[in-house]
Structure 1
Amino acid sequence: MKNFNPRMAMSWTRGLKHGVVPRHAAQLVESRSLAIASKAKKGGKADAGKTPALSQELKSTTVFGANIFKEGSDPKIQPDSEYPDWLWHLLDKRPVLSELRRKDPKTLSYEDLKRFVKLDNRSRIKIRNDLNAKN
Structure 2
Amino acid sequence: MAISLKQGLSFLHLQAYYQASRLICRSYAKKIGKVGGAAAQKARMEVETDPQKLLTHCCGANIFLEGTDPDLKADQEYPDWLWNLRTERGGQELSELDPDTMAYWRRLSHLTSQRNARVSKRLLKLRAIQYPDDSLP
- Shared fold per TM-score greater than 0.5: no
TM score, norm. by length of structure 1: 0.37
Structure with larger Rg: 2
Q: Name the one with the larger helix percent.
A: 1
Higher relative contact order, structure no. (Cα contacts within 8 Å, ≥ 6 residues apart) = 1
**TM-score w.r.t. length of structure 2:** 0.37
